[in-house]
Structure 1
């Protein structure tokens, strides 16, 4: 075999490999953040009273959200779920969760990260952390909610953001569903033949956040999760401080709360009863 042919055979696969690495590095944000702008529905169309809310971040962006009050007033305290949705769509995709919390007698504040729905800006890791801080500040400062009456609940990417917020400002309770130990660790499992840990521009170190959080915490994960394997949830549970609980559910990624139905509702109700 001529030397030139041999070098060509060696060079082409290496070049393609390197090009794919560059491609993966450059398009990460498109895979992590998948927002939509259109608000497809609103809570009132599903029988829920709500207030449309605009509030500002520390870097001057206006974010949009909904405040859905509790269904009853015959309890001493108003518990509020600060809800962090996943990486796709916007708050209008979360009506089922709003209905569920409402039926549990909880108020909910749900908002869109920068670049999602009617919120200004473009998403980034630090940006989502800043957005979480702005939402927390809105609840405590503008609505007068006490930190011990806030239940921070996040799902998928939202759980990564929620865990960071709970590590900074302990709420009454933290619930994280269907999330990963860290973005680099998940990437390394998906792209096994590439140096994914080194390539990862986004960290979202959930396990570290959980280890620094000091409030009752519930980890929820589905055995059927095809996007983020079940063992991520178990590892997060191992890293969490007491008091803690783990709920294994069924159903596809970020859909287990709906698929598991009453099991999820009962588990959440039991955890909150013991935590608050």
Structure 2
């Protein structure tokens, strides 16, 4: 009996230590920034402009402005939690091939952007990127499409509630950080220890611009039901495309079906 109690006590202590460790390492589990810029749009034959702009709390962020072919529409793109903008050339190329201007930037702590990562920091970065397009480049609200993938979808949804974009595109994103954490770590009391909100579900009910959504049943990181729950909660007009393939490349693996659906959505909801 005494041996059983010692085993039980050891298991409980070990579990509690693991919970504490997961709590302390949350930031490293949410953000995976990379500093070095490995590639640029030039590597896929696209001209671009290096851009530096300031946040409200005094940080300099780095991004690229990639012009389209005489387009009046600019996509403000929010990438996911890993790497930096140099790992998003396929997305930039795809949007450029649709005739769109693309403005993509790195959150604080990523790539050449200053600062350290945080949830509130990503929101400040989003607002600064929008203000750059409107104030510095003179682009009207109705000429900006807000687009985010994965973690970027949560940030994009936050901004779309507070601004009036021409349209919003959310791909392979989650309902909230707590929901995703509970799916990934069902053996942990995630909702009791998580310090991050990123509540896309709450945001999406308040988005009034036309909405395009995409998610893959094969997504190995963010389960498909997150995308469907978000879509069901969203306001009209809205479009949903089911992707095929993995979390990071489903849009690319889906190929022409995805490209055609996105083109139709833009044609139906934008004046270029």
- TM-score when normalising by structure 2: 0.97
Note if 1:44 corresponds to 2:42. yes
Alpha-carbon shift at residue 6 of structure 1 (Å): 4.3
Q: Does 1:219 align with 2:213?
A: yes
- What are the ranges of 5 or more consecutive residues in structure 2 without an aligned counterpart? none
Whole-angstrom distance in 2 between the partners of 1:45 and 1:224: 30
Which portions of structure 1, spanning 4 or more consecutive aligned residues, are displaced by more than 3 angstroms? none
- Alpha-carbon distance in 2 for matches of 1:197, 1:99: 38
Is this contact kept in 2: 1:225–1:251, CA < 8 A? yes
- After superposition, give the CA deviation of every residue in 1:152-195 in whole Å (9 maximum; x if it has no partner): 11010111100100011121000000010000011111221221
Where do 1:206-245 residues align within 5 Å?
206-245=200-239
Q: Distance in 1 between matches of 2:106 and 2:188?
A: 33
Q: 2:62 aligns with which of 41, 61, 64?
A: 64
- Taking only aligned residues, the RMSD between alpha carbons, in angstroms, comes to 1.0
**Corresponding residue number in structure 2 for 1:165:** 159
CA distance in 2, matches of 1:176, 1:38: 27
Could you tell me which of 3, 15, 18 is aligned with 1:17? 15
In 1, distance between residues paired with 2:219 and 2:60?
A: 34
5 Å-filtered alignment, 1:3-152, equals: 5-70=3-68, 72-73=69-70, 78-152=72-146
Pick from 268, 271, 275: which aligns with 2:262?
A: 268
Alignment check: 8 A CA contact 1:177 1:254 kept: no
Q: Distance in 2 between matches of 1:194 and 1:45?
A: 43
Counterpart of 2:170?
A: 176
- CA–CA separation in structure 1 for the residues paired with 2:136 and 2:195: 34
Name the CA distance, whole Å, in 1 between partners of 2:31 and 2:217. 24
TM-score by length of 1: 0.96
SS of residue matched to 1:241: coil
Q: Which moved more, 1:52-61 or 1:5-14?
A: 5-14
Deviations 1:105-141 (A, max 9, x none): 1000000000000000011000000000000000000
